[in-house]
C-alpha cells in the first residue's frame, strides 16, 4: 500500500464548488483503497510550531487529500496525473507525493 498526498489550492469563494467536484471524482479503480480529505487549519491562534510545514498557498484554502492505493502505478494508471488545475476553482497546480508505509521492526 502507498499513500498519495495531493495538495489542492482552492479559491476561498469556490469551496462549495470544489467539494462538489471532489465528490464526483471519487475513484472507482479496484486498487483504490480509501481516502481522507483534510483542510489546513490556518488559524493564527495555533502556535507557530504547529504551522511550520510549508504546504499552504497564499490567498486560498489549502486542502490535502490523503489517498490510499495498492500501488503508485495503480494511481498513475487511473488518473494519468498531470500538474494541471481547474483555474475556475483552484489557484495553482495540484502537487502530489507518494509515501511508502514503513513497518518498524
**pLDDT per position as a tens digit, 8-20:** 999 999 999 999 9
Whether residue 91 is contained in a domain is answered as yes
pTM of the predicted structure, to 2 decimals? 0.87
Q: Say if 72 falls within a structural domain.
A: yes
Domain of residue 60, residue span: 2-100
Indicate whether 105 belongs to any domain. Answer: no
25 lies in a domain? yes
Nearest to 18 by CA among 9, 5, 27: 9
DSSP secondary structure code for residue 79 in this structure:
H
- Give the pLDDT band (50/70/90) at residue 1: very high
Whether the predicted pLDDT of 88 surpasses 90: yes
pLDDT in tens, 36-87: 999 998 888 888 888 778 888 888 999 999 999 999 999 998 888 776 888 9
Residue 91's domain is classified under what CATH number? 3.30.70.100
Count of domains observed in the chain = 1
- Cβ-count burial of 1 within 10 angstroms (0-12 exposed, 13-18 middle, 19+ buried)? exposed
Q: What is the DSSP letter of 90?
A: B
Can you give the pLDDT at residue 43? 83
Amino acid at each position: 500500500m502507498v499513500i498519495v498526498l495531493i495538495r489542492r489550492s482552492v479559491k476561498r469563494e469556490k469551496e462549495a464548488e470544489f467539494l462538489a467536484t471532489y465528490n464526483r471524482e471519487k475513484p472507482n479503480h479496484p486498487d483504490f483503497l480509501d481516502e481522507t480529505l483534510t483542510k489546513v487549519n490556518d488559524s493564527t491562534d495555533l502556535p507557530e510550531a504547529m504551522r511550520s510545514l510549508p504546504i499552504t498557498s497564499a490567498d486560498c484554502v489549502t486542502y490535502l487529500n490523503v489517498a490510499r492505493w495498492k500501488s503508485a502505478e495503480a494511481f498513475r494508471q487511473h488518473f494519468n496525473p498531470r500538474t494541471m488545475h481547474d483555474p475556475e476553482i483552484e489557484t495553482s497546480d495540484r502537487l502530489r507525493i507518494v509515501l511508502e508505509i514503513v513497518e518498524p521492526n
